Amino acid sequence: MASSRADLDGNSIKPMTICMIGAGGFIGSHLCEKLMAETPHKVLAVDVYNDKINHLLEPSSSPWAERIQFHRINIKNDSRLEGLIRMADLTINLAAICTPADYNTRPLDTIYSNFIDALPVVKYCSENSKRLIHFSTCEVYGKTVGCFLPKDSPLRQEPANYVLSEDTSPCIFGPIEKQRWSYACAKQLIERLIYAEGAENGLEFTIVRPFNWIGPRMDFIPGIDGPSEGVPRVLACFSNNLLRGEPLKLVDGGESQRTFVYIKDAIEAVLLMIENPARANGHIFNVGNPNNEVTVRQLAEMMTQVYTKVSGEPALASPTIDISSKEFYGEGYDDSDKRIPDMTIINRQLGWNPKTSLWDLLESTLTYQHRTYAEAVKKSTSVPVSS
Ligand SMILES: NC(=O)c1ccc[n+]([C@@H]2O[C@H](COP(=O)([O-])OP(=O)(O)OC[C@H]3O[C@@H](n4cnc5c(N)ncnc54)[C@H](O)[C@@H]3O)[C@@H](O)[C@H]2O)c1
Ligand SMILES: O=c1ccn([C@@H]2O[C@H](COP(=O)(O)OP(=O)(O)O[C@H]3OC[C@@H](O)[C@H](O)[C@H]3O)[C@@H](O)[C@H]2O)c(=O)[nH]1
């Protein structure tokens, strides 16, 4: 299939085998879908779960049955990992604990998952001269320089004080007791290690810094396909509130700003990295949508409007409620104030630009959430009638 496709320099793309670690997660499931539907590449899909890619694994009569293989492996302790990396041309590492509710409450698991568990992957790629695409995060930038300036300072308006650039922005984290930064710090150290493997041992690598990719299959709805007490990322938290007809909870007033990019746009960028190694190797790429910036409060308001449209359910009279970060996340939470990605490098190297507006991506995502979960939520909340 599609074997006559060409890369950005006009060379034909040879089919490759990709070892994808964390393939059963949100991003992995979309990347597997894209690779199966539009490319001739093979995927060795490694994860502890496969619910989000089951539709690709079954039935065995599907057109791509020969091109995707699931390996239920915990990379913490499985000697089969090196063999899979050796069989592949390229390894993509997505495996991580990456939900903020875990960073301050399970800091050890967070650091082990994002740093220690990634070490063997880097080592096997380096020792076997295999290319690596590693998923880092926009959180490595931490806070912006601008947030330390007085609220009325004109310097806050200077892009250098808030736009996050791969080659020039500093990484600014809070103190150690703010354990929120355990994740960002572990991701930063693994980036530095990969970069050093490139510099000293010639590892061919690409580092991806996703800026709040969102869309269908992100995380879980508590009490439906995840633990009732679990706290997923904001898209799933707000979806859960909307499905249950509860007010959306704004942490510390919902003043933090984020830029959201549609998962399907972002996956296009990853495919360009996969198929254009000469342009992607040795680079760190921001992948986000600078045009989709909102405060969390604005996100809550827009999601409420969109959900009313797609579900036909009326909005609540008071659709949001404020909550302190201590009450919501516990001790040691802290936040990134603002996240605008500089798009210069990805634009220059891969010619990639995001396309989907925030309204449009929320419309397709909330249509999916409503279709997938509304019935189950209704059943779970209906009180049984006693005879
Ligand atoms: N979604 C985003 O917006 C975003 C933003 C920044 C960074 N990232 C990074 O992208 C990557 C993927 O994120 P996602 O949103 O798909 O998260 P996800 O939690 O949906 O996916 C991660 C997957 O890794 C698997 N995994 C974790 N530990 C494992 C282990 N020891 N062995 C095998 N599998 C393991 C999990 O089971 C899960 O399926 C992560 O590294 C994350 O830090 C994502
Ligand atoms: O119910 C909620 C959930 C979250 N929030 C707020 O919404 C904002 C976004 O929260 P998310 O859960 O999406 O997580 P963050 O954007 O802070 O971090 C994410 O960014 C990049 C990735 O590495 C990770 O996926 C994650 O760390 C935060 O300010 C958070 O405090 C709410 O106000 N209410």
> Which two structure tokens, joined as six digits, stand for 42?
């093979």
Which of 72, 218, 205, 243 minimizes the C-alpha distance to 129?
205
| Greatest distance between any 2 Cα atoms in the chain | 74
Structure tokens at 292: 């989709």
Residues with Cβ < 8 Å from 60, sequence gap 6 or more? none
How far does residue 38's CA lie from ligand 2's centre (Å)? 32
Per-residue pLDDT of the chain (387 residues; tens, 9 = 90+): 555 799 999 999 999 999 999 999 999 999 999 999 999 999 999 999 999 999 999 988 899 999 999 999 999 999 999 999 999 999 999 999 999 999 999 999 999 999 999 999 999 999 999 999 999 999 999 999 999 999 999 999 999 999 999 999 999 999 999 999 999 999 999 999 999 999 999 999 999 999 999 999 999 999 999 999 999 999 999 999 999 999 999 999 999 999 999 999 999 999 999 999 999 999 999 999 999 999 999 999 999 999 999 999 999 999 999 999 999 999 999 999 999 999 999 999 999 999 999 999 999 999 999 999 999 999 998 877 665
One-letter identity of residue 86:
R
Distance 96 CA to ligand 1 centre (A): 4
Between the CA of 157 and the centroid of ligand 1 the distance, in Å, is 34
Phi, psi of 177 (to 5 degrees): -65, -20
Q: Whose CA is nearest to atom 16 of ligand 2?
A: 212
Q: 258 CB less than 6 Å from ligand 2?
A: yes
With a CB cutoff of 8 Å and minimum separation 6, the contacts of 42 are 15, 16, 17, 18, 66, 67, 68, 69
Total length of the chain = 387
- Taken in order 112, 214, 309, 369, the sign of the CA dihedral is negative
45 and 70 in contact (C-beta within 8 Å)?
yes
Q: Cα(380) to centroid of ligand 2, in Å? A: 26
| Ligand 1, CB within 6 Å, residue ranges | 22, 24-28, 47-49, 74-76, 94-96, 98, 113, 117, 135, 137-138, 210, 212-213
Distance from Cα 97 to the centre of ligand 1, integer Å: 6
Ligand with minimal distance to 94 CA = 1
Q: What is the ipTM of this complex?
A: 0.99
Q: How far apart are CA 259 and CA 291, in angstroms?
A: 7
Residues marked active site are found at 183
User: Residue 178 — left, alpha, or beta (φ > 0 → left; ψ -120 to 50 → alpha)?
Assistant: beta
Q: Is the C-beta atom of 184 inside 6 A of ligand 2? A: no
**Secondary structure (3-state) at 55:** helix
Which of 21, 73, 98 is the pocket-test mutation for ligand 1 (most atoms within 8 Å of CB)? 98
3 state DSSP class of 283:
strand
**Count of beta carbons in the 10 Å neighbourhood of residue 352:** 19
Q: Does domain 96-373 have CATH number 3.40.50.300?
A: no
- What is the Cα–Cα distance from 376 to 353, expressed in whole angstroms? 37
117 lines ligand 2 (CB under 6 A): no
Sheet containing strand 17-21, strands side by side: 68-72, 42-47, 17-21, 90-93, 131-135, 205-210, 283-287
Report helix angle 234-244 to 358-381, nearest 10: 50
Task: Give the dihedral sign, CA 277/278/282/286.
Answer: negative
| Candidate of 34, 135, 183, 209 to mutate for ligand 1, largest count of ligand atoms within 8 Å of Cβ | 135
Domain range annotation of the chain? 96-373
